[in-house]
Chains A and B, each alone.
Chain A
Amino acid sequence: MDPLFYLADTLIFIGIFSLLSLSLNLEFGLTSLGNFGKVAFFMAGAYAYTLLAHAALPPYLCFLGGALIAGLIGLVITLPALRLREDYLAIVTLSFGEILRTVVKAEEGLAGGVRGISVPAVFHLGSSRADALANILLTLGCLALCFLLLQALAHSPYGRVLRAIREDEVAVKALGKNPVYFKASVLFIGSCIAGLAGGIFAQYLNFIDPTMFLPTVTFLVWMMLILGGAGNNWGALLGGVVVELMNRGTRIMKDFITLPVDPNNLQFIFFGLLVILILIFRPQGILPEGPVKTAARKEAQNWISSL
């Protein structure tokens, strides 16, 4: 096989998972919202993209529409839990992931049910090599865009309110900010990004079915963020790269090493242990959260260095 296709596959999957891990960083890393149903919004985006593409909408509208639909679903589903303690949100999102998969499986007429559905490709450049390159550019372009957006958000006044909600919600309320508004908007943006990742995923694979959206996706995304460093967008990115490479590494290893145990079982036992060990021994992850960059802080640093 042409190594370009393997490279393209690796880069595109790193891009898709990094988008998911970045969106979780906005929700959990900055705002301390436990979204345990990430896969649901990823799935919503993938199916929304597919249905829009089958309606023959131009690709950019499909991506946008998929992201927006996922975002709206994220908003509506989490709204009942936002006024409550953070564990309610975890239970609602986790459950919703299971429900959405059940609905897609049961409604054969909607999107093929268990048989899955084909997704029209965006690029028809004449050669599959050119298509692969275009897909890499599309994925990494979206990733770069979202990264810059999230980085700007994290260091804006809005991002500072999010961190404040994470640290002390009562204080935020006392200062006249409404935490529910901020949390709802964070879940909307986070789900939009997850939905965009879903659209890219569906478009790249040209086929989706409900078995691609198991709760394990959510677990892997959490693992990326915990490993990379919650609260830091660079950490989310690093986690996406490391976990996806580990995932691929074990898949390659399977062909070369014969183990007395099933490598797939071993991999997930290892992943589970790794998450637990990181949480106990290095809860801040590989790249811990840095200080917030603000204009005032820069001024102060200049002043200190001029002394």
Chain B
Amino acid sequence: MVVLLQLLLNSLITGSIYLLAGTGLTLTYGLSRFPNFAYAELITLGGFVAYTLLQHSPESFWAGLLLAFLTCGLVSVLSYRLVFSPLVNRRASLIPLMVASIGLGYVLRYTMGEIWSWSDLGYPLVWTAYNWGGLRVTSLWLYLIAVALSAALLLHLFFKCTKVGLAIRAIATNPDLAQVSGINLERVILFTWFLGAALAGVAGVFRAADTQLYPMMGWDILLPVFAAVVLGGIGSFYGLIIASYLLGLAENVGVVFLQATGLSTEYRMAIAFLVLILVLIFRPRGLLGR
């Protein structure tokens, strides 16, 4: 029973990271119609800026989250303005946009490598560990789950109750119609790029706090994040919520299975790939995609 609970808790933790990291990816993918591979580096960037703040004042974890939120959002908006907006205006097709995002990823990744070095870093923080009748929990995990779920709830309210939220949904459904209805396309897109990357930065802080921080950190979770985005249906936020936790569950169950059969737990990543391929074969539009 405790083993089962631990499995569910671990799935909740994994899923929460994917949810935070994938929200921006799926929203900007839905709006701008191309996958931004530089999201990997935005996740990592969040981890690094918080690391620098924690070096100076180890008590300010929450301030670190806020700093990561703002920095990543800003870098994302800048990258849209400087890199993607000129390409979109030139009517660049899908593949050049993806290549540009990979190029941007290299610029960001190696800049981070230059600033923060290529070695593994850890946060100078110790989390309170609880033992609830055999169930192992740390305060960090509880924070992560709480932040992910409240972000999901806030976004839900945002999409349903605010004008900007409505505008985002309108553009995702039909950009031309949205524009003739008087929606400022550029402004809404920029807002989405900010918010999405900001949440990816938060995901990066939690990932770095839970494991290790290095310039390839974001790249190493990009595959499962993409799998969650495709499983949920590209552009679908609600699909992503379900898909993130489903994938988290699949991965953690998979790891138990791998251990039982004596296979390497390195194959954990292959589970996301398997899910990705199965979705493409049987339900390419994803769980809740259009």
Whether A associates with B in a native complex is yes
Chain A positions within 8 Å of B, measured between CB atoms, are 28, 32, 34, 36, 80-81, 83-88, 90-92, 94-96, 98-99, 102-103, 105-107, 215, 219, 222-223, 226, 261-262, 264-266, 268-269, 271-276, 279-280, 283
Q: With the chains together, A272 CA to B105 CA distance in Å?
A: 8
Q: Are A87 and B113 in contact (CB under 8 A)?
A: no
Interface flags for B99-137 (1: CB within 8 Å of A; 0: not) read 110111111011101100000000000000000000000
Considering the complex, which residues of chain B in the window 37-91 have a beta carbon less than 8 Å from any beta carbon of chain A?
A: 37, 83, 86-87, 90
In the A-B complex, the 5 residue pairs with the closest CB atoms: A272-B106, A275-B103, A106-B264, A272-B107, A268-B110
Cβ of B233 within 8 Å of any chain A Cβ, yes or no, is no
Stretch of B7-15, B161-169, B185-193, B265-273 that contacts chain A: B265-273
**Chain B contacts of A271 at CB under 8 A?**
103, 106
Binds A, one of B152-160, B197-205, B246-254, B275-283: B275-283
- The majority secondary structure among interface residues of chain A is helix
* Contact between A261 and B114, CB atoms less than 8 A apart: yes
A253: min CB distance to chain B, Å: 16
Could you list 4 further interchain pairs (A-B, Cβ under 8 angstroms) beyond the known A268-B107, A275-B106?
Answer: A80-B277, A103-B270, A272-B105, A280-B100
Closest to A105 in B: B266
Q: Which residues of A contact B226 (CB under 8 A)?
A: 91, 95
Chain A contacts for B105, CB-based, 8 A:
272
Taking a contact as CB atoms under 8 Å apart, the answer to whether B98 and A87 are in contact is yes
- A219 proximity list for chain B (CB < 8 A): 102-103, 106
Q: Which residue of A lies closest to B215 (CB)?
A: A265
Q: How many residues of B contact A (CB 8 A)?
A: 44
Chain B binding site: helix, strand, loop or mixed by DSSP?
A: helix
30 contacts between A and B (CB under 8 A): A32-B93, A32-B95, A83-B284, A84-B280, A85-B94, A86-B94, A87-B34, A87-B35, A88-B284, A90-B35, A91-B35, A91-B276, A94-B223, A95-B223, A98-B223, A98-B273, A99-B269, A106-B266, A215-B219, A219-B106, A223-B103, A265-B110, A265-B111, A268-B110, A269-B114, A271-B103, A275-B100, A279-B96, A280-B87, A280-B100
A102 to B267 CA separation, bound complex (whole angstroms): 7
Provide the residues of chain B in CB contact with A269, threshold 8 Å. Answer: 106-107, 110-111, 114
B92 at the interface (CB under 8 A from A): yes
The answer to whether A80 touches B266 (Cβ under 8 A) is no
